[in-house]
């Protein structure tokens, strides 16, 4: 009876570990695809919805990179996000002005944390003009 129980439990544990490894691998691939998609340049003629999705992906990617301690990549992504929000705000100022300001403020905070105070101050000045 002990042998049968041991085989059942070890089989269940092995199956659980395999399922967990598959889930973690798929989650990792989704995050990598999101980062790569966020880094892709925006094409001319892109719809507002596509550009909005792209800007949000850039925001998410920026935050993930910052959380992982990848400071330079996060700063670069923050610049891309701010640019995407600028394009959206240019087309629909009342709708996306606050998001553009927030993206610039986050970019400024990352620049400050990286010791790039002058550049951070310039970014914050642009953000202040949007208030």
Is pLDDT at 41 greater than 90 in this prediction?
A: no
pLDDT, tens digit (0-9, with 9 covering 90-100), for 90-130: 988 888 999 999 999 999 999 999 999 999 999 999 999 98
> Is 102 in a helix, a strand, or coil?
helix
User: What is the residue-averaged pLDDT of the chain?
Assistant: 80
Task: Provide, rounded to the nearest whole percent, the portion of the chain with pLDDT above 90.
Answer: 56
Q: 55 near 85, Cβ under 8 Å?
A: yes
Q: Which of 57-61, 87-91, 107-111 has the lowest mean pLDDT?
A: 87-91
CA distance readout (Å), 57 to 6, 78, 81, 119: 47, 11, 8, 24
Q: Which of 40-44, 50-54, 124-128 has the lowest mean pLDDT?
A: 40-44
- In this prediction, residue 131 carries a pLDDT of 77
DSSP state of 122: H
Q: What's the N-to-C CA distance of the chain in angstroms?
A: 73
Mean pLDDT, range 5-17, rounded to an integer:
58
Is pLDDT at 32 greater than 70 in this prediction?
A: no
């Amino acid at each position: 009876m002990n042998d049968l129980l041991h085989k059942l439990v070890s089989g269940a544990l092995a199956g659980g570990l395999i399922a967990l490894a598959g889930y973690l691998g798929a989650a990792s691939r989704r995050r990598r695809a999101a980062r790569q998609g966020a880094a892709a340049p925006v094409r001319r003629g892109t719809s507002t919805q596509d550009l909005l999705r792209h800007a949000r992906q850039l925001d998410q990617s920026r935050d993930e990179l910052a959380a992982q301690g990848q400071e330079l990549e996060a700063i670069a992504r923050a610049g891309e996000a701010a640019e995407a929000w600028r394009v959206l705000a240019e087309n629909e100022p009342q709708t996306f002005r606050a998001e553009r300001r927030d993206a610039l403020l986050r970019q400024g905070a990352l620049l400050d944390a990286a010791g790039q105070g002058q550049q951070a101050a310039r970014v914050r000045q642009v953000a202040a003009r949007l208030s």
